[in-house]
C-alpha cells in the first residue's frame, strides 16, 4: 500500500494486486473498513487507504500471482479467471508467514499459529469464554494475546521462550524507542493479570478429538494445564517464492536489495518482510522508498534512509533478543509429524542429509503447501534449505496451466479468462 501510494502520487499509473479479498494484509485486516481492533491501527489503515483512493490506484484484490511466462508479464488467478498483468516496474511486497515448530500433538485441531488464530478471530471466529495459551517468542505473542482478550478470550498464560535476562536487556534498550515504550505500556494495561512466564515453551499438546490440555516447560519443569486453544508463534519466515521465480538473488534467506530497495533484477523492487523480518514500521518506510524509486523519484526516496535505518536497528534488537534456543530443536519425538501434507514423521526425515534427499525419498514438501510449513521447520530441525522454486508457485486451475502450455506452442491460440 505504501509503495503504491508513493508511486501514484509521483504521477505514475499504478496497480496493486493483493491475494486477500481486501487490502491491508495481516496487520490491518478489516481495519481499513472501520472494523476497529485498535485505535492507532485503524487510523493508520484508514489513512493509507484514503491516499490510495485519492491517487486513483487500481486495486485488484482476490488475485494470486503464480507465474511469469516472460519478462514484464505476470499471470494471476482469480476465483474463476486468469489475469495477465504487464508492468514496466514491479514492487514485490509478499510479506511473511508463521514458522511452525513440530512437537507431539501439534497437529491436533485448535493448536494453531498465533497469527493464524488472530486472523480467524478478526474474520469472525468466536472465542468468547475460550481458554487460550499463547506460546512462542517475540512481541507478536503480546499483541495476539491482547487482541484475543479484547474479543472475550480467557488467556491462561503467555509463555515466552527467551530468558528473563534477554528480556531485561531488551527493556533497557527500549528506552531509545519512545514509540515502542508507549506501545508496550498500552499492551501491559490490556494484559494486566495474565501470567507471563519467560524461558518456557510447549512440550506436547493432548486431546482425543481436539486440543484439551498442553504440557509446558515452565522454569525447567513439565506442567500440564487445560485449554481450548494453543496459539504458537516462533518467528516469521519471509515469503520469497515469487522473488525467487523472477530470478532475484537471495541472501541469508531474504531478498537482496540495494539502498533504493531494488533487487538484483533490474526494474524489480522489494519491500517489507521478504527483505528481512522487521515489523510494520520498517515495512512501511521500505515500501515508500521502493515506490518512490520505482517512480524515478530517487531524491525523495533518499530522504527516508534515516528513518529506515532506525527501524532496521530495532529489527536487529528483536532478532538478538528472541533468537530461538537450542532446546526447541529437540521437541519432536520419532513419531512426530513434520510434513503434515504427506504425513511424514521425524524418524523418516532424520536419516537424510538435505532437503532434496528427503524430498526425493519421502515426498516431504510435495503436498499442497509445497513446503511452506515443513520447509522452515526442517530448516530449524536439520539445517536444510529448499533448493528450487518452480511455477506455479501456488496451486492453479488446470485450464490456466494449459494456457501456459499454449504460450510455448505458437501454432495454438491460447485461451485466457479476464485481462487485468
Q: Provide the pLDDT for residue 22.
A: 86
Of the pLDDT bands very low, low, confident and very high (cuts 50, 70, 90), residue 244 is very high
| Dist. CA 2–CA 93, nearest whole Å | 10
Average pLDDT over residues 359-372: 92
pLDDT tens digits for range 277-292: 999 999 999 999 999 9
Q: Provide the pLDDT for residue 384.
A: 93
Q: Provide the pLDDT for residue 35.
A: 45
Q: Rg of the chain's alpha carbons, rounded to an integer?
A: 22
Of the pLDDT bands very low, low, confident and very high (cuts 50, 70, 90), residue 418 is very low
Q: Provide the pLDDT for residue 36.
A: 46
Residue bearing the bigger pLDDT, 48 or 304: 304
Q: Which of 331, 376, 309 is nearest to 106 (CA)?
A: 331
Q: Provide the pLDDT for residue 114.
A: 95
Indicate if the pLDDT at residue 34 is higher than 60: no
Of the pLDDT bands very low, low, confident and very high (cuts 50, 70, 90), residue 419 is very low
Pairing of strands 250-251, 111-113: unpaired
The model's pTM is 0.89
Residue bearing the bigger pLDDT, 32 or 97: 97
Residue bearing the bigger pLDDT, 38 or 129: 129
Indicate if the pLDDT at residue 352 is higher than 90: yes
Average pLDDT over residues 124-140: 96
Indicate if the pLDDT at residue 365 is higher than 60: yes
The mean pLDDT value of the chain amounts to: 90
User: Burial of 206 by CB count in 10 Å (0-12 exposed, 13-18 middle, 19+ buried)?
Assistant: middle
pLDDT tens digits for range 62-74: 999 999 999 999 9
Q: Which of 107, 103, 123 is nearest to 115 (CA)?
A: 123
Q: Provide the pLDDT for residue 404.
A: 66
Q: What percent of the chain shows pLDDT beyond 90?
A: 74
Domains of the chain: 2-97+237-319 (3.50.50.60), 100-234 (3.50.50.60), 333-382 (no CATH)
3-class secondary structure per residue, the chain = CHHHHHHHHCCCCCEEEECCCCCCCCCCCCHHHCCCCCHHHHHHHHHHHHHHHHCCCEEEECCEEEEEEECCEEEEECCCCEEEEECCCEEECCCEEECCCCCCCCCCCCEEEHHHHHHHHHCCCCCCCCEEEEEEECCHHHHHHHHHHHCCCEEEEEEECCCHHHHHHHHHHHHHCHHHHHHHHHHHHHCCCCCEEECEEEEEEECCCCCCEEEEEECCEEEEEECCEEEEEECEEECCHHHHHCCCCEECCEECCCCCCECCCCCEEECCHHHCCCCHHHHHHHHHHHHHHHCCCHHHHHCCHHHHHHHHHHHHHHHHHCCCCHHHHHCCCCCCEEECCCCEEHHHHCCCCCHHHHHHHHCCCCCCCCCCCHHHHHHHHHCCCCCCCCCCCCCCCHHHHHHHHHHCCCCCCCCCCCCC
Q: Provide the pLDDT for residue 399.
A: 84
Q: Provide the pLDDT for residue 92.
A: 98
Amino acid at each position: 500500500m505504501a509503495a503504491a501510494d508513493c508511486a501514484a502520487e509521483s504521477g505514475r499509473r499504478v496497480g496493486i494486486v493483493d491475494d486477500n479479498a481486501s487490502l491491508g494484509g495481516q496487520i490491518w485486516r478489516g481495519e481499513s473498513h472501520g472494523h476497529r481492533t485498535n485505535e492507532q491501527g485503524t487510523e493508520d489503515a484508514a489513512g493509507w487507504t484514503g491516499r490510495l483512493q485519492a491517487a486513483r490506484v487500481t486495486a485488484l484484490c482476490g488475485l494470486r500471482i503464480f507465474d511469469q511466462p516472460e519478462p514484464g508479464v505476470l499471470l494471476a488467478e482469480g476465483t474463476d479467471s486468469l489475469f495477465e498483468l504487464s508492468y514496466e516496474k514491479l514492487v514485490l511486497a509478499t510479506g511473511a508467514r508463521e514458522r511452525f515448530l513440530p512437537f507431539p500433538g501439534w497437529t491436533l485441531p485448535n493448536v494453531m499459529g498465533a497469527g493464524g488464530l488472530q486472523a480467524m478471530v478478526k474474520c469472525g471466529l468466536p472465542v468468547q469464554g475460550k481458554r487460550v495459551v499463547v506460546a512462542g517468542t517475540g512481541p507478536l505473542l503480546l499483541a495476539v494475546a491482547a487482541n484475543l482478550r479484547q474479543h472475550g478470550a480467557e488467556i491462561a498464560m503467555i509463555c515466552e521462550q527467551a530468558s528473563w535476562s534477554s528480556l531485561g536487556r531488551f527493556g533497557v534498550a527500549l528506552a531509545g524507542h519512545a514509540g515502542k515504550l508507549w506501545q508496550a505500556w498500552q499492551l501491559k494495561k490490556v494484559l494486566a493479570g495474565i501470567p507471563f512466564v519467560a524461558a518456557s515453551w510447549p512440550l506436547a499438546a493432548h486431546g482425543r478429538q481436539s486440543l484439551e490440555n498442553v504440557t509446558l516447560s515452565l522454569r525447567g519443569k513439565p506442567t500440564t494445564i487445560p485449554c481450548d486453544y494453543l496459539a504458537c508463534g516462533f518467528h516469521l519466515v519471509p515469503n520469497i517464492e515469487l522473488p525467487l521465480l523472477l530470478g532475484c538473488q537471495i541472501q541469508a534467506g531474504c531478498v537482496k536489495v540495494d539502498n533504493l530497495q531494488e533487487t538484483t533484477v533490474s526494474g524489480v523492487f522489494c519491500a517489507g518482510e521478504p527483505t528481512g523480518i522487521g515489523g510494520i514500521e520498517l515495512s512501511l518506510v521500505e515500501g515508500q522508498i521502493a515506490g518512490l524509486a520505482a517512480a524515478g523519484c530517487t531524491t525523495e526516496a533518499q530522504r527516508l534512509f534515516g528513518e529506515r535505518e532506525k527501524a532496521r536497528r530495532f529489527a536487529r534488537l528483536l532478532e538478538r533478543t528472541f533468537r530461538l534456543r537450542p532446546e526447541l530443536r529437540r521437541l519432536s519425538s520419532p513419531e512426530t509429524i513434520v510434513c503434515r501434507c504427506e504425513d511424514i514423521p521425524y524418524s523418516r526425515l532424520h536419516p537424510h542429509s538435505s532437503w532434496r534427499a528427503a524430498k526425493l525419498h519421502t515426498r516431504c514438501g510435495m503436498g499442497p503447501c509445497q513446503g511452506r510449513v515443513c520447509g522452515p521447520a526442517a530448516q530449524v530441525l536439520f539445517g536444510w534449505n529448499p533448493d528450487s522454486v518452480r511455477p506455479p508457485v501456488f496451486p492453479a486451475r488446470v485450464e490456466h496451466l494449459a494456457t501456459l502450455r499454449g504460450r510455448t506452442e505458437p501454432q495454438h491460440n491460447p485461451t485466457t479468462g479476464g485481462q487485468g
